Structure 1
Amino acid sequence: MDAWAIEIVILLNVAMAGVDAGVLRHIRRNRSAASWWKAGMGGAGGSLALVVLFGMAPTLLSGRSGVHLNSFFVVQLVSWVLFVHAPVCLLTAAFLLRKNTRKTAALSALGAIGLLGVAVDAFLIEPTWLEVTHIEIASDKIDRPFRVVVVADLQTDRAGRYERRVFETLRDQEADLILFAGDYIQTSCERALPTARAMNQLMKQVGVQAPEGVFAIQGNVDLWRPWLEVFRGLDVSPLQSTQSFDVGPLRLTCLSVADSFRPRLVVERIDPDRFHLVLGHGPNYAMGRIDADLLLAGHTHGGQVQLPLVGPLTTGCAVPPAWAAGMTELPDGGKLYVSRGVGMERGNAPRIRFLCRPELVVIDLVPQ
């Protein structure tokens, strides 16, 4: 996190300690189910007020260099309240109420255990619980089996064991064609170049290659970072502009980052008898007039946090939330697949995934 963000997080936790003390003092004095509910509601209100106050702090401090309002930072603050302070209060309340009202104490303990369970999954398990998603698409435009592997949103701030495992898993898929969908490095300006070079060395060590080629497009977080260094000296074609290629049995169109976010983009089909695949970083372009059999995108991370019956809380794009992860049958007959990505939002965001595992996408195109 940025230095200013760390300062605000510390201040929030100090203020929240005061809220915690007030809640527990009230419960200790009264030791009843009613006091538990009353203190809980008061604590929730106080927590919300503090999150709003400290969430606005970047705007109030906007005159300071590098300080800006970021919704991901608000999620960081909420995470501290929800997964640190709430469990502490609930467990302590359960202890205080264990003799006076066992049902309320049990409910309080279960609430704490539930929140801690979510925290363990979201912070420690899912972020590196890589899934390999297999999709098979049959088409009369394909004359032989052809495997495409999509790697979206590596979006890392270090080249570590997880990144090595991702590249080793990628290599083991024996792809005919590998497509990198943008967003490779997300770290400070000082660390961006060393991190990009470390990723480059890691890819060379693992051996990332494919017989029909490896193509890498630019993502929005790459606009201010040396992303080309990630692929320097590798048998990879990095692209910053919209270009098309004949690759094996298909026609591949790779979009610039700007084009991928244009909801009225027009992409024509050159050869009606050739399978047309379009790769963009953002999925907005799928809302345009895209004459293609398969559209691919990343950027959304699948929302990174999904809730049952709700879906992704945020997607960072213009497409409907239902389009933000997985396969979507488009009205014009084409298919859109949006990858949940490999990495996570970095910077001042919490390193979190919930009900939204990272993924490599393996697409087997087969003759119909």
Structure 2
Amino acid sequence: MQHSELDFARLGIPRLGTSGSGVPARALAGVAGLAAAGLFYSTVIERNAFALRHTTLSVLEPGATPLRVLHISDLHMMPGQRLKQAWIAELEALEPDLVVNTGDNLAHPQAVPSVIQALGGLLSRPGFFVFGSNDYFGPKPKNPLKYFKKNHQRTQCEPLPWQDLRAAFTERGWLDATHTVRELEVSGVRVVAAGVDDPHIQRDRYETVAGRPNPLAHLRLGLTHSPEPRVLDRFAADGYDLVMAGHTHGGQLCLPFFGALVTNCQLDRSRVKGPSNWGSSMKLHVSAGLGTSPYAPARFCCRPEASLLTLTPVSHGDADYDADQSLPQLARETM
């Protein structure tokens, strides 16, 4: 029996209760269990743990009335995502003065009705929007390692009904800011908004909106889906107060005490979500978004979110405030 056991070892066959490298099977089972728990948490729990980021930014001209802006982005809606649709529908109770949508609303050709139903009464409020690549083209499976390459090759996929989505938005009163300058007075605040098409797929044409915006405006707002530095630099040089963007998903899969691994664009990881300064006088706000690609339906240490921004006048000594809160708690506070 001993000779037979030695033969098994010589052949690399592990003893009962160990792996081939001598690791106890119990330890391997524990690792497998942790991996399964992590997969369940990221794909079922956190992916659906929608939150509202509450941020205060001092960007308005002195003397202006504070403005409450709801920033939504990256819905990546699929038909039948009732939990997400119901959560978005509750945002109407916040009664924002202005709604800004920075694109990637769709993940399926038949998802337009789901998006419109979810947005509901928000479409009756003043709003601006620009589109992202996943308003024009459907998602496709990708090698995750490609996200670590700054200039990985991108392929266009199945067309999505962006014309129907645009028509539904504009018929309800939202203004398309793509490659145009829009002006709107909201709650006594004069807002100038200019946007570009998605820079991530090279659709941006900043020259169509180049130049300094109306100096009489209380807020000069720039919109882009992907927060590419080349576009942010142009907005900053032209004197915009705030640029709002999405696209990054906040990193989507983040590590505790480290943060996002990638931004999926040229933006640095420190600005992957929430507010930051860009240049000497412009603010940037990046939404972590509400959805994911159907081919990567997971989030870790990065909850899906919408943002309620309270914009206040600039004054000496002002400090910006940023916090994550669950929608039910914040909705009770604001109703």
TM-score, length basis structure 2: 0.70
1:298 aligns with 2:233: no
Letter paired with 2:260: P
Letter paired with 1:355: C
Letter paired with 2:121: G
Q: Which residue of 1 aligns with 2:304?
A: 358
CA contact (8 A) 1:171 1:209 kept: no
Q: CA RMSD in A?
A: 2.9
Letter paired with 2:195: L
Q: Which residue of 2 aligns with 1:253?
A: 193
Moved more, 217-226 or 139-148: 139-148
1:286 aligns with 2:232: yes
Give the Å deviation of 1:202. 4.5
Letter paired with 1:351: P
- Provide the rounded CA distance (Å) in 2 between the counterparts of 1:310 and 1:27: 40
Give the Å deviation of 1:116. 2.4
Q: Which residue of 2 aligns with 1:227?
A: 162
Query: CA 1:327–1:302 in 2, change beyond 3 Å: closer, same or farther?
Result: same
The structure that is helix-richer by fraction is 1
CA contact (8 A) 1:141 1:275 kept: no
- Provide the rounded CA distance (Å) in 1 between the counterparts of 2:213 and 2:116: 34
Give the Å deviation of 1:33. 7.8
Query: CA 1:288–1:155 in 2, change beyond 3 Å: closer, same or farther?
Result: same
- Provide the rounded CA distance (Å) in 2 between the counterparts of 1:263 and 1:35: 57
Query: CA 1:181–1:26 in 2, change beyond 3 Å: closer, same or farther?
Result: farther
- Provide the rounded CA distance (Å) in 2 between the counterparts of 1:174 and 1:314: 34
- Provide the rounded CA distance (Å) in 1 between the counterparts of 2:101 and 2:80: 17
Q: Which residue of 2 aligns with 1:182?
A: 103
Give the Å deviation of 1:289. 4.7
Query: CA 1:34–1:279 in 2, change beyond 3 Å: closer, same or farther?
Result: same
Aligned residues with identical type, % of pairs: 24
- 1:244 match: secondary structure: strand
Query: CA 1:247–1:114 in 2, change beyond 3 Å: closer, same or farther?
Result: farther
Runs of 4+ in 1 over 4 A off after TM superposition: 25-28, 30-34, 258-267
Query: CA 1:137–1:235 in 2, change beyond 3 Å: closer, same or farther?
Result: same
Give the number of aligned pairs. 268
- Provide the rounded CA distance (Å) in 2 between the counterparts of 1:131 and 1:26: 51
- Provide the rounded CA distance (Å) in 1 between the counterparts of 2:177 and 2:185: 15
1:217 aligns with 2:130: yes
- 1:208 match: secondary structure: helix
Q: Which residue of 2 aligns with 1:130?
A: 50
- 2:68 match: secondary structure: strand
Query: CA 1:32–1:264 in 2, change beyond 3 Å: closer, same or farther?
Result: same
Q: Which residue of 1 aligns with 2:182?
A: 244
CA contact (8 A) 1:157 1:195 kept: yes
Stretches of structure 1 that go unaligned for 5 or more consecutive residues are 1-24, 38-89, 95-104
1:151 aligns with 2:77: no
Give the Å deviation of 1:174. 0.6
- Provide the rounded CA distance (Å) in 1 between the counterparts of 2:177 and 2:80: 22
Match of 1:197 among 109, 113, 128: 113
- Provide the rounded CA distance (Å) in 1 between the counterparts of 2:93 and 2:305: 14
Within 5 A, what are the aligned runs for 1:94-113? 94=26, 105=27, 108-113=28-33
Letter paired with 2:107: Q
* CA deviations over 1:16-70 (Å, ceiling 9, x no partner): xxxxxxxxx9674364588334xxxxxxxxxxxxxxxxxxxxxxxxxxxxxxxxx
Stretches of structure 2 that go unaligned for 5 or more consecutive residues are 1-10, 137-158, 316-335
Letter paired with 1:35: S
Match of 2:21 among 5, 22, 35: 35
Letter paired with 1:333: S
Give the Å deviation of 1:158. 1.7
Q: Which residue of 2 aligns with 1:117?
A: 37
TM-score, length basis structure 1: 0.64
Letter paired with 1:221: N
1:268 aligns with 2:181: no
Higher RCO (CA 8 Å, separation ≥ 6 residues)? 2
